[in-house]
């Protein structure tokens, strides 16, 4: 929010608990008063224990009095003697200020109050927690399964879940729009329309249940879970050192692999207290930004595909630029898509020899990029048809975006100045010169603009990294620090760490139990929260705008469903 | 007319035939050649592999050079389905439905380890251990993901098989769509009886028997 805006919440008195050097958790504890019945230390932040019936009140207090306006994630998990839901809160203005709210629930019949009244994003997060772990949230408006089929038996992330038990999954004949009963109950003029799960405009296997009034969307309900690949279970089965790293590549698979890997690396390194050599940080930063460019290119290309409706030049141009980027990444990592390049404590290997050739190729690509972007602007953003389709459609107001926990280009297109690379610094970003892009349009057009400009910023970062790498003294090129063969972090340590992935804030919560495998591994996917804003953006708009809005959210189902 | 073809239609091949523009072949052979040389693919994306599939269709690899690169959005217009990705319990009935909607003769290319065995997700509680649990597959392209070159090779192999008149036998698969009322009345079915109608189509997963 800009400071000039007189109605902005900045006009409020100073939030409780903020001091010169960060957060004063004692002040927060005082603020919560009787609501807090205990306190825990997680590596990333302190957490307050709250009774299952006081969730909403505690969250609202923290939101309004202490400024925690971003409910980043909800982790539910099972202990020997209880269930637990952890709400990870932070601030859009200052994401390093975090606090956890821990809600224990009874072993038999776990029930706790829903956080829907405080954050709208809690809706889907709680449905997921109910689906996978089986915690029930009282007063939730619509507590049903979200990832697994509605008739699924059991909650798979519980310890006593039997994976061998048979399941029956219905293929419900979707309501047929040609039947005479297609009209609404009150005989209004609405029609039910299924979009997906197999549909060219849904970018994968997403199913939208839409109700149309003429050409206007009266109601839309995204139905997800068609690509729920049990990523959390599989990460919980793997050991920290080697077996988890390949999975993040497959969450956001649109070439954003290294960005995702970095999230796991950051969480696990902080959990096990590992150092990363500076040289490796530069390599990480460079390769991650290459991934971001490739991912944003696909976003631009497929968005044009959605709006113009055919495999036109723009799509092919974008694919061409991606090919070039993928060639570079292949030279560096050995793979086109599933890089598996980061290691805990560094990266897998150094730059390919001869180094000069790699630098030259990278520079060539970067030199061409401004001209290519010019072309995209000519073909896309300055095209009149495109503008008519995108300006003032799919409007997402910043307040709604925050309540839904939107991040990444979606938030920045709504004027929210939030980028974890700058605000919660990691890697080599703080040493480099680049800008965070925001646009105030709040519409489909703004989101596209943000992505295209971010490509420029990423190019800036890569250029600086290449210069640094070129001059790096040969004897200091350490790519990995010393990491023990088996990692066994201290039992009962908990951490929640996030990075700025291509689509927004990607987070991982890990709880260790002293073994070489995580006891709980929870993924906070940016697309999951971003997709939740779709009804907000498209209800009351025309159906073609719904398609454009969906495209401009740039979701990837592998990450929505995990 | 009667004077031979319009000269603008001429080609090297046509010239080679000279004044006797007839070829003699078996009708089946000719049909199979035609089938393999002009395939309409279903535009069907599931997971990570579909990104490499898009690259195979797009510039550089350009699958269309091999007569197999025009994606159709409707299954009713397609004769090849590339299955690019992990198949999970909620999606299998839908995939089967899409497959059923394609007209005969139809062919399936399984792309990636996930369609062979479940790939890296094989141990997941929700993951089908390969596309062949639900639909017949003609060609398996291994890799995670396979490179575009590998997919092109797989499609070329499929064309070869089609030209030879071969296709995967359509047999009953472990996971079929059935009416709920036809299922054996075991504990689970009893339990779900008030939530699923007798004539709803369902798919029953017996995970214990999965490979
Ligand atoms: S085979 Fe690998 S790349 Fe392909 S869908 Fe499966 S996990 Fe993704």
Domain coordinates in residue numbering, chain A = 9-138, 231-561
Which residue from B74, B76, B72, B56 is spatially nearest to B64, judged by alpha carbons? Answer: B56
Of B21 and A264, the one with more pLDDT: A264
Minimum CA–CA partner of B99 in chain A: A198
Minimum CA–CA partner of B62 in chain A: A316
Nearest CA to ligand 1 atom 8: B48
Please tell me whether the peptide bond between A354 and the residue prior to it is cis, using omega within 30 degrees of 0.
Answer: yes
Question: How would DSSP label each residue in A341-403?
Answer: -EETTEES--PPSSHHHHHHHHHHHHHHHHHHHHHHIIIIIT-HHHHHHHTTSS---HHHHHH
Rounded Cα–Cα distance for residues B22 and B17 (Å): 7
Rounded Cα–Cα distance for residues A99 and A47 (Å): 6
Closest ligand 1 atom to residue B49 Cα is 4
Of residues B58, B85, B207, nearest to A164 (C-beta): B207
Strands (E) in chain B, as ranges, are 40-42, 70-72, 80-84, 107-111, 139-141, 177-179, 201-205
| Per-residue model confidence (pLDDT) at position A8 | 47
Rounded Cα–Cα distance for residues A212 and B159 (Å): 43
| Per-residue model confidence (pLDDT) at position A172 | 75
Q: State how far residue B200 is from chain A, nearest Cα, in angstroms.
A: 6
Give the CB-side neighbour count of residue A491, counting CA atoms within 13 A. 3
Rounded Cα–Cα distance for residues A108 and A297 (Å): 49
| Per-residue model confidence (pLDDT) at position B141 | 93
Sequence-distant (≥ 6) Cβ neighbours of residue A20 within 8 angstroms = none
Using CA atoms, how far residue A71 sits from A101, A134, A404, A505, B183, in Å, is 10, 21, 8, 12, 44
- Tell me which DSSP letter residue A199 carries: B
Chain A residues in contact with B203 by the CB 8 A cut-off are 168-169, 171
- Tell me which DSSP letter residue A316 carries: H
Say yes or no for a CB contact (<8 Å) between B202 and A225.
Answer: no
Rounded Cα–Cα distance for residues A260 and A389 (Å): 32
Partner A contacted by B97 (CB < 8 A): yes
Partner A contacted by B193 (CB < 8 A): no
Partner A contacted by B188 (CB < 8 A): yes
Which residue from A405, A425, A395 is spatially nearest to A504, judged by alpha carbons? Answer: A405
| Per-residue model confidence (pLDDT) at position B152 | 92
Q: Are B63 and B92 in contact (CB under 8 A)?
A: no
Across residues B12-41, what is the average pLDDT? 83
Q: Are B203 and A168 in contact (CB under 8 A)?
A: yes
Partner A contacted by B157 (CB < 8 A): no
The pair of three-digit structure tokens given for residue B77, joined into one six-digit string? 């217009």
Partner A contacted by B181 (CB < 8 A): no
Instruction: Check if B88 has its Cβ closer than 6 Å to any atom of ligand 1.
Output: no
SS (H, E, C) A435-486: CCCCCCCCCHHHHHHHHHHHHHHHHHHHHHHHHHHHHCCHHHCCCECCCCCC
| Per-residue model confidence (pLDDT) at position B22 | 80
Say yes or no for a CB contact (<8 Å) between B126 and A320.
Answer: no
List chain A residues with pLDDT less than 50.
1-11, 178
Rounded Cα–Cα distance for residues A150 and B84 (Å): 25
The string of pLDDT tens digits covering residues A405-441 is: 899 999 999 888 898 988 888 888 888 888 898 888 8
Q: Are A274 and A525 in contact (CB under 8 A)?
A: no
The string of pLDDT tens digits covering residues B98-122 is: 898 899 888 999 999 999 988 899 8
Burial string for A477-488 (b: 16+ CB within 10 Å, else e) reads eebbeebeeebb
Alpha-carbon dihedral A65, A68, A71, A75, rounded to 10 degrees: -90
Alpha-carbon dihedral B175, B178, B181, B183, rounded to 10 degrees: -20
Instruction: Check if B113 has its Cβ closer than 6 Å to any atom of ligand 1.
Output: yes
C-beta contacts of A81-88 below 8 A and 24+ residues apart: A81/A107, A82/A106, A82/A107, A82/A110, A83/A107, A83/A110, A83/A133, A83/A134, A83/A135, A85/A112, A85/A129, A85/A135, A86/A47, A86/A494, A86/A509, A87/A55, A87/A59, A87/A115, A87/A122, A88/A496, A88/A507, A88/A509, A88/A524
Which residue from A498, A320, A537 is spatially nearest to A410, judged by alpha carbons? Answer: A537
Residue A344 CA, distance from chain mean position: 21
Rounded Cα–Cα distance for residues B178 and A240 (Å): 43
| Per-residue model confidence (pLDDT) at position B115 | 92
Positive or negative: CA dihedral A191, A195, A197, A199: positive
Nearest CA to ligand 1 atom 6: B114
- Return residues 12-71 of B near A (CB < 8 Å): 43-48, 50-52, 54-55, 57-60, 71
Positive or negative: CA dihedral A113, A9, A406, A142: positive
Of residues B44, B48, B196, nearest to A253 (C-beta): B48
Which residue from B117, B116, B119 is spatially nearest to B137, judged by alpha carbons? Answer: B116
Cβ–Cβ pairs < 8 A, chains A and B? 164
Topology (CATH level 3) of domain A231-561: Cytochrome-c3 Hydrogenase; chain B (1.10.645)
Say yes or no for a CB contact (<8 Å) between B202 and A169.
Answer: yes
Answer whether residue B1 shows pLDDT above 50: no
Q: A392 CA to middle of ligand 1, Å?
A: 37
Of residues A168, A203, A226, nearest to B192 (C-beta): A168
Say yes or no for a CB contact (<8 Å) between A247 and B120.
Answer: yes
Q: State how far residue B137 is from chain A, nearest Cα, in angstroms.
A: 19
Instruction: Check if B120 has its Cβ closer than 6 Å to any atom of ligand 1.
Output: yes
pTM comes to 0.88
Question: Beta strand pairing status for A46-50 and A98-106?
Answer: parallel
Which of A250, A253, A326, A557 most suits a substitution to test ligand 1, by most atoms within 8 Å of the C-beta? A250
What is this model's ipTM? 0.85
CATH tag for A9-138 (out of 3.30.565.10, 3.20.20.70, 3.30.460.80, 3.90.1150.10): 3.30.460.80
Say yes or no for a CB contact (<8 Å) between B97 and A156.
Answer: no
Instruction: Check if B146 has its Cβ closer than 6 Å to any atom of ligand 1.
Output: no
Chain A interface mutation, best of B42, B88, B90, highest count of A Cβ atoms under 10 Å: B90
How many residues can be counted in chain A?
A: 562
| Per-residue model confidence (pLDDT) at position A5 | 47
- Return residues 133-152 of B near A (CB < 8 Å): 144-145, 147
Instruction: Check if B158 has its Cβ closer than 6 Å to any atom of ligand 1.
Output: no
Question: Beta strand pairing status for A98-106 and B107-111?
Answer: unpaired
Q: B123 CA to middle of ligand 1, Å?
A: 14
Instruction: Check if B34 has its Cβ closer than 6 Å to any atom of ligand 1.
Output: no
Which of B45, B46, B49, B84 most suits a substitution to test ligand 1, by most atoms within 8 Å of the C-beta? B49
Q: What share of chain A is helix, strand, coil (3-state, %, to 5)?
A: 40, 20, 40
- Tell me which DSSP letter residue A91 carries: -
Topology (CATH level 3) of domain B26-169: Rossmann fold (3.40.50)
Chain A residues in contact with B124 by the CB 8 A cut-off are 229-230, 233-234
| Per-residue model confidence (pLDDT) at position B189 | 82
Instruction: Check if B159 has its Cβ closer than 6 Å to any atom of ligand 1.
Output: no
- Tell me which DSSP letter residue A211 carries: E
Rounded Cα–Cα distance for residues A137 and A114 (Å): 5
Angle (CA) B131 B39 B30, round 5°:
115
Say yes or no for a CB contact (<8 Å) between A171 and B94.
Answer: yes
Maximum C-alpha span of chain B: 77
Q: B135 CA to middle of ligand 1, Å?
A: 18
Rounded Cα–Cα distance for residues A252 and A527 (Å): 9
Say yes or no for a CB contact (<8 Å) between B177 and A153.
Answer: no
- Tell me which DSSP letter residue A44 carries: S
Maximum C-alpha span of chain A: 78
């Amino acid at each position: 929010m800009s400071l000039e805006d007189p109605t902005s919440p900045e006009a409020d008195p100073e939030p409780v608990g903020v001091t010169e050097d960060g957060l004063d958790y004692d002040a927060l504890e005082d603020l919560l008063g009787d609501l807090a019945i205990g306190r825990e230390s997680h590596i990333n932040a302190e957490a307050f224990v709250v009774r299952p019936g006081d969730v909403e009140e505690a969250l609202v207090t923290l939101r309004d009095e202490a400024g925690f306006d971003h409910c980043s994630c909800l982790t539910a998990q099972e202990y020997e003697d209880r269930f637990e839901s952890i709400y990870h809160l932070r601030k859009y203005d200052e994401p390093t200020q975090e606090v956890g709210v821990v809600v224990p629930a009874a072993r038999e019949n776990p029930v706790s109050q829903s956080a829907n009244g405080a954050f709208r994003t809690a809706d889907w997060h709680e449905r997921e927690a109910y689906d996978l772990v089986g915690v029930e949230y009282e007063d939730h408006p619509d507590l049903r399964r979200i990832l697994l089929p509605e008739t699924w038996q059991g909650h798979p992330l519980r310890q006593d879940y039997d994976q061998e038990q048979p399941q029956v999954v219905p293929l419900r004949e979707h309501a047929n729009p040609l039947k005479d009963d297609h009209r609404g109950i009150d005989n209004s003029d609405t029609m039910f329309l299924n979009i997906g799960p197999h549909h060219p405009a849904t970018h994968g296997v997403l199913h939208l249940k839409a109700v149309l009034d003429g050409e206007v969307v009266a109601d839309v309900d995204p139905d997800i879970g068609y690509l729920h690949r049990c990523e959390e279970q599989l990460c919980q089965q793997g050991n920290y050192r080697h077996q988890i790293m390949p999975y993040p590549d497959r969450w956001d698979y649109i070439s954003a692999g290294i960005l995702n890997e970095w999230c796991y690396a950051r969480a696990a390194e902080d959990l096990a207290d590992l150092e990363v050599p500076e040289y490796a940080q530069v390599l990480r930063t460079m390769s991650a930004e290459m991934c971001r460019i490739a991912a944003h290119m696909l976003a631009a290309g497929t968005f044009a595909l959605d709006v113009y409706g055919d495999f036109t030049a723009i799509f092919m141009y974008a694919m061409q630029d991606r090919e070039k980027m993928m060639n570079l990444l292949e030279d560096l990592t050995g793979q086109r898509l599933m890089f598996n390049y980061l290691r805990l404590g560094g990266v897998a290997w150094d730059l390919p020899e001869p180094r000069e050739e790699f630098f030259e190729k990278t520079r060539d690509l970067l030199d061409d990029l401004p001209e290519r972007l010019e072309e995209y602007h000519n073909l896309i953003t300055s095209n009149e048809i495109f503008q008519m389709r995108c300006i003032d459609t799919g409007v997402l107001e910043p307040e709604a975006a925050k309540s839904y926990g939107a991040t990444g280009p979606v938030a920045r297109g709504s004027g929210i100045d939030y980028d974890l690379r700058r605000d919660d610094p990691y890697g080599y970003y703080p040493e480099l010169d680049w800008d965070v892009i925001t646009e105030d349009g709040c519409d489909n057009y703004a989101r596209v603009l943000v992505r295209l400009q971010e490509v420029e910023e990423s190019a800036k970062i890569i250029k600086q990294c290449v210069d640094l790498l070129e001059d790096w003294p040969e004897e200091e090129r350490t790519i990995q620090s010393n990491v023990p063969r088996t990692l066994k972090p201290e039992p009962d340590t908990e951490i929640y760490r996030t990075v700025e992935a291509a689509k927004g804030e990607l987070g991982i919560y890990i709880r260790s139990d002293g073994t070489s495998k995580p006891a709980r591994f929870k993924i906070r996917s940016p697309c999951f929260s971003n997709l939740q804003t779709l009804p907000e953006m498209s209800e009351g708009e025309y159906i073609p705008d719904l398609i454009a809005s969906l495209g401009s959210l740039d979701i990837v189902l592998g990450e929505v469903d995990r | 007319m009667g004077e031979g073809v319009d000269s603008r239609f001429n080609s090297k091949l046509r010239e080679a035939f000279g004044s006797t523009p007839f070829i003699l072949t078996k009708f089946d052979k000719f049909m199979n050649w035609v089938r393999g040389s002009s395939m309409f693919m279903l535009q069907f994306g599931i997971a990570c592999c579909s990104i490499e599939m898009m690259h195979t269709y797009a510039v550089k690899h350009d699958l269309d050079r091999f007569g197999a690169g025009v994606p159709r959005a409707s299954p009713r217009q397609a004769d090849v389905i590339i299955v690019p990705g992990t198949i999970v319990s909620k999606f299998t009935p839908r995939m089967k439905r899409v497959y059923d909607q394609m007209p005969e003769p139809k062919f399936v290319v399984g792309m990636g380890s996930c369609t062979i065995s479940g790939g890296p997700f094989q141990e997941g509680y929700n993951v089908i251990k390969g596309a062949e649990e639900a639909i017949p597959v003609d060609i398996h392209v291994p890799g995670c993901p396979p490179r575009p070159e590998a997919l092109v090779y797989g499609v070329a192999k499929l064309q070869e098989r089609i030209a030879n008149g071969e296709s995967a036998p359509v047999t009953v698969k472990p996971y079929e769509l059935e009416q709920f009322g036809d299922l054996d009345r075991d504990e689970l079915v009893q339990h779900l009886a008030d939530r699923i109608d007798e004539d709803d189509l369902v798919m029953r997963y017996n995970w214990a028997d999965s490979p």
